[in-house]
Structure 1
Amino acid sequence: MIRQRWRRRAAGLAVVALVSGGLAVGSAGLSAADDGELLRESTASEECANADAIAGTGDNFEANCLTESEVAEIEESVGAAGILPAGETASSPNISLVTNLPKEGPFAPTNALNSDLAFQGKYVFAGNYNGFTVYNIENPRKPVQVAQVLCPGSQNDISVYGDLLFLSTDSRWSDDSCSAQGPYNVPDTAALPDYWEGMKIFDISDVRNPQYVSAVETKCGSHTHTLVPGEESVYIYVSSYGPDSRLTDCQPPHDKISIIDVPLDDPEAAHVAAEPVLFPDAANQGRNTAGCHDITAYPHLGLAAGACMGDGIVMDITDPLNPVILDQVRDANFAFWHSATFNNDGTSIIFTDELGGGSGPTCNPTIGPNRGANAIYTWDGASLEFASYYKIPREQANTENCVAHNGSLIPVPGKDIFVQAWYQGGISVFDFTDPYNPTEIAWFDRGTWDDAGTIAGAWSTYYYNGYIYSNEIQRGFDVFDLRDKRVAPAKGVRYDEFNVQTQPVY
């Protein structure tokens, strides 16, 4: 009975996806195309006095310091006068915060970080390190919490498909239940060789009372995941990283992803169907591709774009269980390849650099405009070519964690417009229709979080059916109204279902 209901609802749903954005400054990236040359020389980086201090703030950091004249130029163009004190907000005149719902219950503590968002009909599903919350957004200006599910398991990256909800667990627990003991750090797992991490599946046919269905263990857990719809199944590309020889199920080199097959007629039978090694010769090429952080699928084009540690990649996914890399790119300014999103035509891709892992204050003149930013690449069907960088032009305080993070396309036909979260840098909306000249058109920012040094700010910021929704790590669930003639056509676009990493055509 339940199995047939899953099939009917999944078959008729339209799915949506989104991406990231700021200040446009050029510096060429590096591409490896079909000629098989998967490694090209990085441009030499100039050493500077604070290189040691910058290095170590993010994974795989490559020093690329600015000269004194470059720092002076940035300070002149950006300046420090706009830094907001705690408790204050500022924005461009075309965007307004219409409501905020603070975190509550077991999700209220500062260590219970709000994370990703997924959408279906009149509901938003909001991840949190302690589980997930369901909001009714039938009236976007007055959202109502309708359910809260306690199920710890950082980071609880979330997606929905029909009557199914998927939740990523990227930490080690005693078992796959929502009441498991943990999380366990690496040394502790020696005494717990049968620890669990991976993907959890819930039934949301009664959205007010989600029910746990099953779980699938995956190598190195599941940091993020991506849905790739099929005829009989929905496939889940699991991105994970951080191999360690002390971990039973996360052995080096881990140059792979896990692909879960979820039969729509029998979701309890979900299982790992493939573990394709994407980088079989990475070690010999001197590449640090020990897994992927995030993948965005574009089923309409049979493509996926991925952020895989030291590389940005484009894959052919016409055979979902056998993805094939078409091109790889490296960028001397990127420390941690975080995510990727196509424009609607599939001719440009935004890659994001999460310098400092989301915990560092990278929106300042010392770091500059080319690091902790977005890199926009053009895609001609065969190779990636660097076009420009975009980073928010507002300097943030050195107590504010700020870097490029999760965002989405705003569905304006004929335009490429992106809304993006920047942690404590707030949110930014920019137009990259000309990939060589991205331009900010709207922004919102809060002053520093009261508890200096605590991770805060916008984790995920997405456009859905007329409004912008944002999951703020500490302050809760935000709804914004963007009123601008450049995005007015998007107000008429409606989706039944929207997952950031499964990109639709509009």
Structure 2
Amino acid sequence: MRRPRRLVRLALAVALVTGLAGTAAAAPPDTGASKSDNITHLASVPMTGPLTGGVNTDIAFAGTKAYVGNYAGFAVYDVADPAEPRMISQVSCPGSQNDISVYGGLLFLSTDQSRSDSSCQSVPQSPTIKGSWEGIKIFDVRDPANPRYVAAVETKCGSHTHTLVPEPSKRSVYIYNSSYFPHATYPDCQPPNDRIDIVKVPLRNPAGAAVVASPVLFPDGGFPGSETGYETSGCHDITAFPARRIAAAACMGDGVLLDISRPAAPRVIDRVQDAENFSFWHGATFNGDGTKVVFMDELGGGGGAECNEAVGPDKGATAIFDIKHRKLTFRSYYKIPRHQAEQENCVSHNGSLIPVRGRDIMVQAWYQGGFSVWDFTDSAHPKEIGYFDRPPRRPASFGGYWSVYYYNGTIYGTESVTAFDTFKISDRRTDPAEKVKLSELNVQTQPAFWG
């Protein structure tokens, strides 16, 4: 799958296709939506141009810009006024799932689909073909209105998601690459895939980015699988907490706590499993000082209707763990308290912390379950304090919020198949968070809001 550097550069030089820009916010289409009184839907920007028909995925933030991944590429929004977000550029660059992050004027995009080459004009190609490509693409977004494709790094099993870990000197950034589902017929993605790939990106020379390490996290093979739980064959998502030199890895059948004191050589310090209730360890979020972590279970893979009475409160949920002496201790589960219709895809998904000193509060997406704002200050007794939930899609189809994050006083959400949305929460429990202002946010690289 590796290609000569000269050919890679040629592919990159012709890769960029910038779509329509200037799409303004529309009045939120909230007919029939239920919500708590403390949530206000500010605006909705519909998909347009080359991203129409794709699936909105993750969000990253830098200054007054929001960068939204989409299976068909990515879009950049000006959110200086969250009530009137404006699309300023979009790039057509298909490749599931286009997980996204930004750092130092660079944008990183995960390609978890075997393609004919690394260009944005590539086409799907079987992973059984040795020359197929998948991995991480790098764009220069110092001018957000004109993103420029500058480099690509191939990884053996592709890139489903990735996590940034800045080098202490700030000269480089490490990318922890997550991938899974190897197969004996894939020349470059062979079982057991018990490792992660680590890419080092020199910020002044991103074209020099390369895989520098592939540490094995599961020398014993990890969780062997069960009737309801996936066998561990890689990681889905990793969240780093650089200030405490730790990271939490959600790895299919395992939840892992890592020591990242040496970014290129992370070390497993604790590991937990939940064969009874967890199906697929999907993601993680720390609290504000890194003394707790919640893990999400993506039962049904995001397409299942897992928020009905039959499934119950402990499956497809979020598990809360306290961290003490660098060990994980399970405390409870959290799941939205509203049963969804049998045809609504709904499960625990991507969320972020709302930074309130002395409290642990986060906002979290639940696909067609909408989003929930919930408090886990008491780890054993989490409770919801706000929500937004639309009625089922008619006719029944996939949809709902993929990622919902809090950034500088506003809640932002990617409605998977329709729009980029903004919300305001007004509540005495969350209002103090408005004092926290960030210049950049990649949710899977959590800042220490206080020590």
TM-score of the pair, normalised by structure 1: 0.80
Q: State the match for 1:348 in structure 2.
A: 292
Code of the residue aligned with 2:293 in structure 1: it is I
- CA distance in 2 between partners of 1:339 and 1:206 (Å): 31
Residues 6-55 of structure 1: CA deviation (Å, up to 9, x unaligned)? xxxxxxxxxxxxxxxxxxxxxxxxxxxxxxxxxxxxxxxxxxxxxxxxxx
CA shift for structure 1 position 475:
2.1
Q: State the match for 2:203 in structure 1.
A: 264
Residues 145-200 of structure 1: CA deviation (Å, up to 9, x unaligned)? 00010000110000000110000000000000000011x3xxx444x321000000
Q: State the match for 2:228 in structure 1.
A: none
Q: State the match for 1:104 in structure 2.
A: 48
CA shift for structure 1 position 87:
4.9
Residues 105-125 of structure 1: CA deviation (Å, up to 9, x unaligned)? 12222xx11100000000000
Q: State the match for 1:339 in structure 2.
A: 283
- CA distance in 2 between partners of 1:314 and 1:472 (Å): 30
Q: State the match for 2:411 in structure 1.
A: 468
Q: In 2, are the aligned partners of 1:352 and 1:405 still within 8 Å (CA)?
A: yes
Please tell me whether residue 210 in structure 1 is matched to residue 147 in structure 2: yes
From 246, 255, 264, the equivalent of 1:303 is 246
1:195-234 alignment runs, 5 A limit: 195-230=132-167, 231=169, 232-234=171-173
From 384, 396, 421, the equivalent of 1:440 is 384
Structure 1 unaligned residues grouped into runs of 5+: 1-85
Q: In 1, are the aligned partners of 2:115 and 2:122 still within 8 Å (CA)?
A: yes
Q: In 2, are the aligned partners of 1:418 and 1:431 still within 8 Å (CA)?
A: yes
Code of the residue aligned with 2:39 in structure 1: it is I
Q: State the match for 1:330 in structure 2.
A: 273
Code of the residue aligned with 2:183 in structure 1: it is D
From 368, 374, 390, the equivalent of 1:424 is 368
- CA distance in 1 between partners of 2:210 and 2:306 (Å): 40
- CA distance in 1 between partners of 2:51 and 2:102 (Å): 21
Q: State the match for 1:405 in structure 2.
A: 349
CA shift for structure 1 position 342:
1.2
Code of the residue aligned with 1:353 in structure 2: it is D
1:311-330 alignment runs, 5 A limit: 311-330=254-273
Code of the residue aligned with 1:211 in structure 2: it is R
Give the number of the structure with larger relative contact order, counting CA–CA contacts within 8 Å between residues 6 or more apart: 1
Q: How many residue pairs align between the two structures?
A: 412
Residues 274-295 of structure 1: CA deviation (Å, up to 9, x unaligned)? 0001111126x74632100000
From 333, 338, 347, the equivalent of 1:389 is 333
Q: State the match for 1:28 in structure 2.
A: none
- CA distance in 1 between partners of 2:127 and 2:211 (Å): 23
From 255, 263, 274, the equivalent of 2:194 is 255
Code of the residue aligned with 1:202 in structure 2: it is F
CA shift for structure 1 position 381:
2.5
Please tell me whether residue 358 in structure 1 is matched to residue 302 in structure 2: yes
- CA distance in 1 between partners of 2:163 and 2:103 (Å): 11
Q: State the match for 1:60 in structure 2.
A: none
3-state SS of 2:59 partner: strand
Q: State the match for 1:141 in structure 2.
A: 83
Identity %: 55
3-state SS of 1:363 partner: coil
Q: State the match for 2:183 in structure 1.
A: 244
Q: In 1, are the aligned partners of 2:192 and 2:221 still within 8 Å (CA)?
A: no
Q: State the match for 1:165 in structure 2.
A: 107
- CA distance in 2 between partners of 1:282 and 1:196 (Å): 26
Residues 464-502 of structure 1: CA deviation (Å, up to 9, x unaligned)? 001000010012001000000001111111000000100
Q: State the match for 2:431 in structure 1.
A: 488
- CA distance in 1 between partners of 2:285 and 2:388 (Å): 22
Structure 2 unaligned residues grouped into runs of 5+: 1-29, 226-230
Q: In 2, are the aligned partners of 1:87 and 1:448 still within 8 Å (CA)?
A: no
3-state SS of 1:272 partner: strand
Q: State the match for 1:459 in structure 2.
A: 402
The root-mean-square deviation of aligned C-alpha atoms, in Å, is 1.1
- CA distance in 1 between partners of 2:314 and 2:166 (Å): 36
Q: State the match for 1:478 in structure 2.
A: 421
Q: State the match for 2:441 in structure 1.
A: 498
- CA distance in 2 between partners of 1:217 and 1:140 (Å): 36
CA shift for structure 1 position 104:
1.0
Q: State the match for 2:131 in structure 1.
A: 194
3-state SS of 1:106 partner: helix
3-state SS of 1:491 partner: helix
TM-score of the pair, normalised by structure 2: 0.90
CA shift for structure 1 position 265:
2.0
3-state SS of 2:293 partner: strand
Q: State the match for 1:273 in structure 2.
A: 212
- CA distance in 2 between partners of 1:321 and 1:139 (Å): 39
Please tell me whether residue 89 in structure 1 is matched to residue 33 in structure 2: yes
- CA distance in 2 between partners of 1:341 and 1:93 (Å): 26
3-state SS of 1:268 partner: helix
- CA distance in 1 between partners of 2:123 and 2:248 (Å): 35
3-state SS of 2:367 partner: coil
Code of the residue aligned with 1:321 in structure 2: it is A
CA shift for structure 1 position 99:
0.6
- CA distance in 2 between partners of 1:189 and 1:229 (Å): 31
Q: In 2, are the aligned partners of 1:326 and 1:382 still within 8 Å (CA)?
A: yes
